[in-house]
Amino acid sequence: MFFITPDLSREALESKYARQPSQFALIDGLRVHYRDTGPRNAPVLVLLHGFGSSLQTWDAWSSVLESKFRVLRMDLAGFGLTGASPDDDYSDPADVQRLERFLNALGVQEFTLIGHSMGGRIAWNYASAHPERVKRLVLLAPDGFPTPGQKIGGKPYDVGAIAEVIQFVMPKFLVRKSLEPAFFNASSVSEELLDRYYELLRAPTVRQAILARMRQTINSDPVERLSKITAPTLLLWGEGDAMIPCSNAKDYVKALVQAHSQVEVLSRASHLLQEESPQVALARVLAFMSEHQQ
């Protein structure tokens, strides 16, 4: 029998997941949970997590990067300790505008933008809208093109009965089953990692916001927007990605300015590259950034 899965208290979650160096910024009524680490005068890296995730997905990378870079990462609207947006708008333009206002509030002008999955979709949309600010773009299995069986105008996220139910009932095993396909080896889903995803999905307003985002997100034709990106772009994929297939990379390369883009596919890797193969994936990113110095 399933029982109601209540939200966890904000106080308990913040005591566990918002320890130093976490901060909060009020941006247009949205209380954004973020971390800003590394030397303030160093080149800036902005890291955007994927669907259902949080800024902790970048922990392994950040611990390395912050020795030489200023690293900014945040819980995106609808997720983690940021929670639901007051305007309940999770469209592509709204995501871009929220990121723009957050960066302006922190006084950040130029940066390397790194996004995973849904965060990759936000990243390339931002790089298209503000090409003068993005000096390098790294997309890890980015969302944006319809996967096989989907179409322009359709919804990339399935809003079925289970999506409706998780507002009220969300057993832990269901979260595990949703995470396992994101790893090449399902046994890589540790109890610590599972606890983090499960607990942050139970943050106040998050499940309702996730459902709202799923309902609002549509597959629009990205080609014209991608063609406006001027930053050198690295597309990084796991060959075993069961969520966004690496065959999508060819669509991005075709749409992007080809002289500025390159693709790397990691063997024995799936969707969550920054958590499954952090050292291998980060080595590819560092090599790309070294090749394209700001």
Please list, in sequence order, all residues whose beta carbon lies within 8 angstroms of the beta carbon of residue 265, skipping any fewer than 6 positions away: 237, 238, 239, 246, 249
Q: Please choose, from the candidates 68, 76, 85, the residue with its C-alpha nearest in 3D space to the C-alpha of residue 29.
A: 85
Calpha distance 240→271 (Å, rounded): 8
Contact 197, 180 (CB under 8 A): no
Q: Where are the beta strands (DSSP E) in 75-146?
A: 111-116, 134-140
In degrees, to the nearest 5, what angle opens at C-alpha 173 toward C-alphas 168 and 179? 100
Calpha distance 37→282 (Å, rounded): 17
70-74: strand order across its sheet? 22-27, 30-37, 70-74, 44-48, 111-116, 134-140, 233-238, 261-266
Q: Please choose, from the candidates 113, 147, 139, the residue with its C-alpha nearest in 3D space to the C-alpha of residue 127.
A: 113
What is the pLDDT, as a whole number, of residue 259? 66
Contact 152, 221 (CB under 8 A): yes
Question: Which residue type sits at 221?
Answer: D
Sorted by where each starts, the structural domains of the chain and their CATH numbers stand as: 10-291 (3.40.50.1820)
Calpha distance 57→71 (Å, rounded): 13
Task: Tally the C-alpha atoms within 13 A of residue 75's C-alpha that lie toward its C-beta.
Answer: 31
pTM: 0.96
Mind listing the pLDDT tens digit of every residue in the chain (294 residues)?
Answer: 457 899 999 999 999 999 999 999 999 999 999 999 999 999 999 999 999 999 999 999 999 999 999 999 999 999 999 999 999 999 999 999 999 999 999 999 999 999 999 999 999 999 999 999 999 999 999 999 987 777 777 777 765 566 678 888 999 999 999 999 999 999 999 999 999 999 999 999 999 999 999 989 888 899 999 999 999 999 999 999 999 999 999 999 999 976 679 999 999 999 999 999 999 999 999 999 999 987
Tell me the CA distances in angstroms from 231 to 29, 178, 260, one per residue in order. Answer: 31, 33, 7
Calpha distance 187→126 (Å, rounded): 35
Contact 92, 83 (CB under 8 A): no
What is the pLDDT, as a whole number, of residue 132? 96
